[in-house]
Amino acid sequence: MGLLEIGALLLFLMLLMLSGGVWIAMTLAIVGWVGQAFFTNTLPGKNLFSAFWETAASWELAALPMFIWMGEILYRTRLSEQMFDGLSPWLSRVPGRLMHTTVLGCGIFGSVSGSSAATCATIAKVALPELERRGYNRDLALGSLAAAGGLGILIPPSITMVVYAVAADASVIRLFLAGFLPGLLLMGLFSLYIGWWSLRHPEQVPAAEPPTTLWNKLRRSGSLIPCALLIVFIVWVLVAGIATATECAAWGVVGSLAIAAAGGSLNWRNFWDALAGATRVSCMIMFILAGAAFLTKTMAFTGIPRELAEFVASLNLSPYGLIAILVVVYLILGTALDGISMIVLTSAVVLPLIQKAGFDLVWFGIFIILLIEIAEITPPVGFNLFVLQNMTGVDSNRIARVTLPFFACMLVAIALITLFPQIVTSVPNALMGVPR
């Protein structure tokens, strides 16, 4: 049996188990076990242990439960309600109104967390209950949260960007700078779709607030100041190099506790509820990531990603033909691999092809990050889909369906940066000079 046939068989097994209601993490681990036990010469038991241990012992992921705890604190105290009350008068005349907070929140939080799972889980915990309480469409909220959660790896700092920079021997700073404009572009495309959808379905959007004075808007926005200062502080200590992303997460928890206590909305009950909620969500995400890490080892041992990359190399395509085929290949890989694994397992074959075709390696880094974002909302292994499913109880296939318009927005973003690479390269070139 060929490698591509093995990959198709494992994908079918995964879909069968997920449709049968098997836990997501267990499905990933079982498929990985089957792949290693029947199609490789390695010992699956040993690799299962190492994959779960490496995932649980990751220092980078230590920030995940802290950021989720911060979101739980905001959700279980009055801070999230105060934030939405402060934003409401400013967005009342914008099509879609407060629905844009999902995109804006993920964009801002993504600049702090560097993780799509943490961004998606944290903003969903804060925004989703409030949007539902105010009567906004739940499907649109779920779709925008699943897609915008991926901004956590596009807007720097990003762990995925660091991995790519090492694999491609590219400048990490240039990659970080290159991510800003594409991140803003993607946020704009998401907001445009939300506005267009709201104009098409006005009956599913809550009525606008009555006009008010500028002074009243400013007065109501006072509730935004504490949380805004907290976000600015976290971003500042990160950019200034004073603290790592994990340390920033700890500062975020301390700051949110202090703000909630100062506002009189923190008590022992919601403190323990927030801690327990953060523990449940963090364990769920870590379990899924561990199962995915084991499946990734299976893909590496079978050699399926390398086989796909070598097949592309054998086609001798034109530059834009190569890009089109790579989009398809990475979309396929995204159904079974996490983003970092997609980079590591294909870079040795793909990067020489990209250089030979004349593409800038920094540009290609942003290109592949966008494709990884798409993988986050692509079943059967779409991490953001799983996060929202476990948080809301909504089936991941339904979430994937309502995410399709945002999937299209990501494809438009990929097309735009391909046709106009200056979107990616202009900022690093302007600030650091054109590389020789």
φ, ψ for residue 94, nearest 5 deg:
-90, 130
What is the mean pLDDT of the segment spanning 331-337? 75
- In the predicted structure, residue 360 carries a pLDDT above the cut 70: yes
Give me the pLDDT at residue 60, please.
60
For residues 344 and 351, the answer to whether their CB atoms sit within 8 Å is: no
- Per-residue pLDDT at 262 exceeds 60: yes
Q: Which amino acid would we find at residue 335?
A: T
Q: Residue 260 in contact with residue 72, Cβ under 8 Å? A: no
Instruction: Identify whether 210 is preceded by a cis peptide bond (ω within 30 of 0).
Output: no
More confident residue, 270 or 118: 270
Reported as a pLDDT band with limits 50, 70 and 90, residue 430 is confident
Q: How far apart are CA 246 and CA 244, in angstroms?
A: 5
Q: Of how many residues is the chain composed?
A: 436
The answer, yes or no, to whether residue 347 has pLDDT greater than 60, is: yes
Q: Is the pLDDT of residue 393 over 80?
A: yes
What pLDDT score was predicted for residue 422? 93
User: What is the average pLDDT across 384-389?
Assistant: 83
Lowest mean pLDDT among 312-321, 340-349, 364-373: 340-349
Average pLDDT over residues 161-185: 81
**Quick check: 268 pLDDT over 70?**
yes
Predicted pLDDT at 107: 79
Residue 182's closest CA among 173, 190, 172?
A: 190
Q: What pLDDT, on a 0 to 100 scale, did the predictor assign at position 413?
A: 94
Give the rounded percent of residues in the chain with a pLDDT score beyond 90: 11
Quote the tokens at residue 227.
């949380």
Name the average pLDDT for the chain: 79
Distance CA 15, CA 1 (A): 20
Give the pLDDT score at 113.
Answer: 58
With a cut of 80, say whether residue 195 has pLDDT above it. yes
Q: Count other Cβ atoms within 10 Å, centred on residue 266.
A: 21
Three-state DSSP state, 232: helix
User: pLDDT digit string (tens) for 111-161?
Assistant: 665 667 777 877 787 788 878 888 888 899 899 988 988 887 887 766 677
What is d(CA 372, CA 337) in angstroms, rounded to the nearest whole number? 9
Map out the domains of the chain as residue ranges.
Answer: 1-10+24-35+43-206+215-436
pLDDT in tens, 33-49: 888 888 888 888 888 88
293: tokens are 């890490």
Give per-residue pLDDT as tens, 81-123: 666 666 667 676 778 777 888 888 787 767 665 667 777 877 7
* C-alpha neighbours within 13 Å on the C-beta side of residue 106: 37
Read off the pLDDT of each residue in 54-59 and give the average, rounded to a whole number: 72
